[in-house]
Amino acid sequence: MPAPRFFLRPTVAASLLALHALTALAQTPPAEPASSGTLSTVTVEASADASAEGLTKPFAGGQVARGGRVGILGNQDMMDSPFSSTSYTHELIQNQQARSVADVLQNDPSVRVARGFGNFQESYFIRGFVVNSDDIAYNGLYGLLPRQYISSELFERVEVLRGASAFLNGATPTGGGIGGNINLLPKRAPNEPLTQVSLGTASGSQSYVSTDIARRFGPDQSVGIRLNAAHRDGGTGVNAEQVKLDVASVGFDWRSRNARISADIGHQEHRLSRTRPNVTLGAGVTRVPSAPDNQLNYAQPWTYSNERDTFGSVRGEYDITDNVTAWIAGGARKSHEGNSLAGLTVTNNLGAGNMSRFENQRQDNTRTAEAGVRGKFTTGPVNHTVVASYSYYQLKEKNAYKWDFFNNLKSNLYAPIGYPIPAYTASAFRGNDMDNPALLTQTRLSSLAIGDTLSFMDDRAQLTLGVRRQKLESTDFAYDSGKPTTYEKSRTSPMVGFVFKLQPQVSLYANYIEGLSKGDTAPTVSTSGAVRNAGTQLSPYVSKQKEIGIKYDGGRIGGGLAFFTTDKPRALINSAGYYVAEGKDRHQGLELTAFGEATKGLRVMGGITFLDAKQRATGDASTDGRRVIGIAKTQGTLGLEWDVPGVRGLSLDARAVSTGPSYADAANTLRVPGWTRFDIGARYLTEVAGKLVTVRARIDNLTNRNYWASVGGYPNNGYLVLGAPRTVTVSASVDF
């Protein structure tokens, strides 16, 4: 049943109506009005969730938090965790006018934003390994949020856990999570009433309206409700490109002395029209073409991508005793995607190329659940925190497609040619019924995990040991015939982590942890002939990570230095003609991160990553020892935010994002130039008629640089994505 249109198109009037209803129900006395000489601020920090700790506190400067969720180990302070992580706060998200997860992660020196293969899905390189949006967790559960684009109205914080995480989180739905995990935290009602309306505009005549309303109820404020809604519509800085977004969500929480419950329900519709596609380099290309004008659009006029998602989740936690807590969580998502696409394949060094029409329909139904128990006890001088959990994930994907591969439309990277939508020819590839997509894949992941954190020497030293038994099951159904092929394998993944506090301000840490993903199925033929074990299913790929590091908490400034090495298995056809798991990609790197408030009114955040990602024992002399596609040796980010002295309420910010050269092919013959992008912003807080008003302005890609923003994002593919042009965004928020 389609959602009502008033649900999809929130307006200021609808928001005020919701405010009136909430105000009538709330039993909270109104906040004291601000004095005429003081600018009041609204704390949008969540205070209650289905966990005793709630959110970790913000670090000095408010842009990142002191810690975050570390899988089944729960929330941990950054100085107590044997892993590298960063949690970006709602304050940062709002002040930078971030529209999605990708906008937030531009701040992370270990992350680079990419795009899915042949579509517009946001994907991310973390430590050089791809994490798809499918593999993002929502309050610890996979598969609940939209899989292509996640609007910032749906989350309070973005938590990045760097490194493999099979023990901490279990295997991800698509086998990512080798270089890191992303967890989004839902919004909760803060302690103080919140009513905020925002209006904005951006390059391309794009308009924006959103509301954020929250109240707590009851004499003890034990019940909270938070409503978020937004509508975005209009063009972008790219010629003829159009974006339309409708999103709404409701978050609920309740707490008592021994029990806590939270729940969320949300709906998002994201519609793209004539969005600029990826660029694939064909066999005739011997060098990477220079990036064209960043406003140029080589999309065909009839292309589009529409996504509609509805999701819900619930989480409960109960204190059985003072030292034993049990929890249970579950959620579901139903989504539909429809696309009409035409990617550009460049066939020579002058930018000439071709495009072909491709359409598909996809429907997803996801169910996920988790249950666990956490307890504390002491044996002699050692304190123990033991955790055990069971998790389950199921995805049913329906799909159908048409692809007119041989009906090429001639175009050019620098002088695009638009065509009327072509009719499909008899030679077009087809799979299933576009009007009634059939089941294509059914995936089930289940696991049982147990861990123990041992603390000794007055908690200066902590040793965490853990193991997870994971079962990977999937059934692929052939297009049209529905013939099934089943995969069912299990694997036990260990973990060990150690933290030692040299001083209260300095922690040393080390870890060994593995990543887990489904093994491939041997193909029928290869370039050298028939494969002798065609159809054989390889055991799960086990990635192995070793990491050591140091963390610093100076009160106002914090940061960390991490050295890691991760080996990811590869598959190849060996000299005897068998398809086997041999060779590996080895990613070795050094990460430096820093954040906080350097002096009063000057906030800093950023870092640099040095990464050596090489292919090893590939079975091909042309690729052995070569760099992995799309991975730069050096990348970094530096952001500064400054409260202007003498101008009360005015803050300025600037950010530089830099990425070194990379390669678009496994043999490293196609070198893609590096790039540096500069962004600036301003924020002004004032009071109008007793209401707090915040005006924000931002310019991304200040110098309007033409550059290839990413290379690849799908294994063994080096397609290019052109960076966005200079984009100006202006918004105003009013707190009633």
| SS3 assignment for 155-189 | CCEEEEEECCCHHHHCCCCCCCCCCEEEEEECCCC
Distance between alpha carbon 199 and the CA centroid of its chain, in Å?
Answer: 25
DSSP secondary structure letter of residue 431: E
Domain assignment of residue 36, yes or no: no
Helix (H, G, I), strand (E, B) or coil at 645: coil
pLDDT range class, residue 520, cuts 50, 70, 90:
confident
Determine the Cα–Cα distance for residues 234 and 61; give it in Å rounded to an integer. 34
Q: Is the dihedral of CA 615, 677, 90, 57 positive or negative?
A: positive
Instruction: With residue 24 as reference, give the H or E element that holds it.
Output: helix 12-25
Tell me the per-residue pLDDT of 554-571, one tens digit each, with 9 for 90 and over: 999 999 999 999 999 988
Considering only the C-alpha atoms of the chain, give the largest distance between any 2 of them, rounded to a whole number of Å: 83
Q: What is the mean pLDDT of residues 150-169?
A: 96
DSSP tag of 292: -
27 lies in some domain: no
How far apart are alpha carbons 388 and 372 in whole angstroms?
Answer: 5
pLDDT at 49: 59
Measured in whole angstroms, how far is the alpha carbon of residue 95 from the centre of its chain?
19
Burial 199-216 (b: 16+ CB within 10 A, else e): ebebbbebebbbbbbbbb
Please tell me the predicted confidence (pLDDT) of residue 482: 96
Q: 567 and 516 in contact (C-beta within 8 Å)?
A: no
- For range 181-203, the mean pLDDT: 96
pLDDT value for 583: 87
CA dihedral 418, 423, 429, 434 (to 10 degrees): 100
Does the residue 205 lie in any domain?
yes
Report pLDDT digits (tens) over 64-114: 999 999 999 999 999 999 999 999 999 999 999 999 999 999 999 999 999
Task: Tell me the C-alpha distance between 575 and 531, whole Å.
Answer: 11
Domain carrying residue 409: 44-419+427-537+550-555+562-583+591-735
Q: What's the pLDDT tens digit per position in 707-723?
A: 999 999 988 899 999 99
Is 16 inside a domain boundary?
no
Contact 454/418 with Cβ under 8 angstroms?
no
Question: Count of alpha carbons within 13 Å of 701, Cβ hemisphere only?
Answer: 18
Q: Judge whether residue 706 has pLDDT over 50.
A: yes
Summarize the confidence of residues 436-456 as an average pLDDT.
97
| pLDDT of 37 over the 50 cut | no
- pLDDT at site 44: 38
How many residues are recorded in the chain?
736
Measured between alpha carbons, how far is residue 336 from residues 273, 283, 536, 574, 614 in Å? 17, 35, 32, 41, 38
Task: For residue 18, give the H/E element and its range.
Answer: helix 12-25
- Three-state DSSP at 168 gives helix
Mean local confidence (pLDDT), 487-512 = 97
CA 399/CA 440 separation, integer angstroms = 6
Q: How confident is the model at residue 10 (pLDDT cuts 50, 70, 90)?
A: very low
- The gap from C-alpha 77 to its chain's centroid, in whole angstroms, comes to 22
- Give the list of residues 6+ apart from residue 138 with CB closer than 8 angstroms, or none: 144, 145, 155, 183, 184, 186, 264, 311, 313, 331
pLDDT in the model for residue 46: 44
Per-residue model confidence (pLDDT) at position 35: 36
Q: Which residue has the higher pLDDT, 377 or 574?
A: 377
Q: Of 519, 518, 517, 513, nearest to 565 (Cα)?
A: 513
CB 518 within 8 A of CB 540: yes
Q: What percent of the chain has pLDDT over 90?
A: 85
**Domain count across the chain:** 1
At 25, the amino acid letter reads L
How much is the pLDDT for 160?
Answer: 97
Q: Rounded to an integer, what distance in angstroms lies between the CA atom of residue 190 and that of residue 445? A: 35
CA distance 207 to 73: 42
pLDDT at 9 over 70: no
- Assess if residue 696 is contained within a domain: yes
pLDDT, residue 53, reads: 73
Residues 581-595, mean pLDDT to the nearest whole number: 95
Pairing of strands 223-235, 242-255: antiparallel
Those residues with Cβ within 8 angstroms of residue 321's Cβ, 6 or more apart along the chain or in another chain: none
| Residue 683: both structure tokens together | 């924020």
Q: Is 153 helix (H, G, I), strand (E, B) or coil?
A: helix
Amino acid type, 61: G
Structure tokens at 264: 């969320």
Residue 15 lies in a domain: no
Q: What is the pLDDT of residue 50?
A: 61
Provide the total of helices (H) and of strands (E) in the chain, helices listed first.
Answer: 5, 43
Q: Is 543 within the bounds of a domain? A: no
DSSP 540: P
**177 pLDDT band (50/70/90 cuts)?**
confident
What is the identity of the amino acid at 434?
M
Edge-to-edge strands, sheet with 279-281: 409-412, 352-355, 344-346, 279-281, 720-722, 708-711
Q: What is the DSSP letter of 404?
A: -
Weakest mean pLDDT among 173-177, 238-242, 398-402: 173-177
Mean pLDDT on 352-363: 98
pLDDT tens sequence across 114-152: 999 888 999 999 999 999 989 999 999 999 999 999 999
3-class secondary-structure state, position 702: coil
pLDDT tier at 575 (50, 70, 90 boundaries)? confident
Tell me what the mean pLDDT of segment 624-650 comes to.
Answer: 97
More reliable by pLDDT, 503 or 5: 503
Q: Return the residue matching tokens 């029928």.
A: 524
Under DSSP, the state recorded for 578 is -
Q: Is residue 544 part of a domain?
A: no
Record the tokens describing residue 658, joined without a space.
């830099």
Give yes or no for a contact between 523 and 579, defined as CB atoms under 8 angstroms apart.
yes
Instruction: Dump pLDDT digits (tens) for 368-411.
Output: 999 999 999 999 999 999 999 999 999 999 999 999 999 999 99
- pLDDT for the residue 213: 98
CATH number at residue 113: 2.40.170.20
